[in-house]
Amino acid sequence: SPYRDPRKRTEREDLNCSLWQDNSMSVKRFAFVKFSEVTEQCFLLFSLILFMFLASLTGNALIALAIWTNPALHTPMYFFLANLSLLEIGYTCSTIPKMLQNLVSEARGISREGCATQMFFFTVFGISECCLLAAMACDRYMAICSPLHYATRMSHGMCVHLAMVSWGVGCIVGLGQTNYIFSLDFCGPCEIDHFFCDLPPILALACGDTSHNEAAVFVAAILCISSPFLLIIASYGRILAAVLVMPSPEGRQKALSTCSSHLLVVTLFYGSASVTYLRPKASHSPGVDKLLALFYTVVTSMLNPIIYSLRNKEVKTALQRTLGKKNVLTHR
């Protein structure tokens, strides 16, 4: 009927797979499974995720701004930290806004192109962060194990090069993975049992036998997640060996204190990513995958600026100066 409410029509179409298929019966639009039929639970989760999202954006933006505006922090370690903050902002912005919409709206649909775009940016920022954390570990290795050559080997040009390589690897892997997944046909069902367009739940909707595709995604995950992680382990193994032979307890404590924040961030990020993407397919379940997704997309991004601001006196001082400047400008 022409007198139907357009909003209701859209909501009904968002849940009707048959309206999303062309003549070749390939799904052109998806819908996210509703989190809960209890409205109060959805609004409670919406409020919690929104709070963590805003806290993550604010914390990471403040750290990047503090490093940018304070010349004392224009060193390799803080250059990488500023890049990490920018990656965290992109990481959360690529998934959480759509996640929040799905929690409170009946229109939970997303086009095939929109889903591919979300997967691309999520993969870019995730893989780039893996590589950047490895670059940060190499920086700490050079600072502690080769302090006399640190200034020349970790020059500004070298830091920019390492950051560009990290972002470049993320872009290449993201483009390759997204093209590989969305070159498949999706015959239905069209509902994604997840909060966003992540690799495993989208691959589960593809037609036919996808074992070869799953194996390729698994190999790519091992290469892109495990390789930087092994480099981090090797760097910290050398750092620990160098610290243990230091004669001064104060020197050992100072050396380890410069690594503690990075180690904690690596543990949080790699712990959740490894459990999500490197565990066997048989152990996957939608409920566990959703909880892990909430952790590595929201919680870790919110905790990173807290970890660096609480455990690093220089960052804490820079943040106080930055906030103090803002307060002065506001009063004027």
Q: Per-residue pLDDT tens for 88-113?
A: 999 899 989 988 888 887 777 888 88
Q: What is the pTM of this model?
A: 0.83
Q: What is the CATH number of the domain that holds 75?
A: 1.20.1070.10
Edge-to-edge order in the sheet of strand 191-192 = 109-111, 29-32, 191-192
Q: Which of 122, 91, 109 is nearest to 34 (CA)?
A: 109
26 pLDDT band, cuts 50/70/90, is: low
Report the DSSP beta bridge partners of residue 110: 30
Which residues 6+ apart lie within 8 Å of 107 measured at CB?
10, 11, 14
Domain span at residue 199 reads 37-322
pLDDT-derived band of residue 54, with 50, 70 and 90 as boundaries?
very high
Q: Is residue 142 part of a domain?
A: yes
Residue at 23 is within a domain: no
Tally of domains in the chain: 1
Q: Domain for residue 127, yes or no?
A: yes
| Residue 126 is assigned to a structural domain of this protein | yes
Which letter does DSSP use for residue 184 in this model? S
Higher-scoring residue by pLDDT: 22, 103 = 103
Predicted local distance difference test score (pLDDT) of residue 6: 42
Residue 87 lies in a domain: yes
Q: Where are the beta strands (DSSP E) in 57-177?
A: 109-111
pLDDT tops 70 at residue 12: no
* CA 139 – CA 159 distance, rounded (Å): 9
Residues comprising the chain, all counted = 332
**Chain segment 298-332, per-residue pLDDT in tens:** 888 888 888 887 667 778 787 787 777 555 444 44
Q: Which residues pair with 31 in a beta bridge?
A: 109, 191
On the question of pLDDT at 148 being above 80, the answer is yes
| pLDDT bracket for residue 3 (50, 70, 90) | very low
Q: What is the percent of the chain where pLDDT is above 70? A: 84
Kindly report, residue by residue over 260-303, the tens digit of the pLDDT: 888 888 888 887 777 766 666 655 666 677 777 778 788 888 88
Structure tokens at 296: 């590595």
Q: How many CB atoms lie within 10 A of CB 291?
A: 11
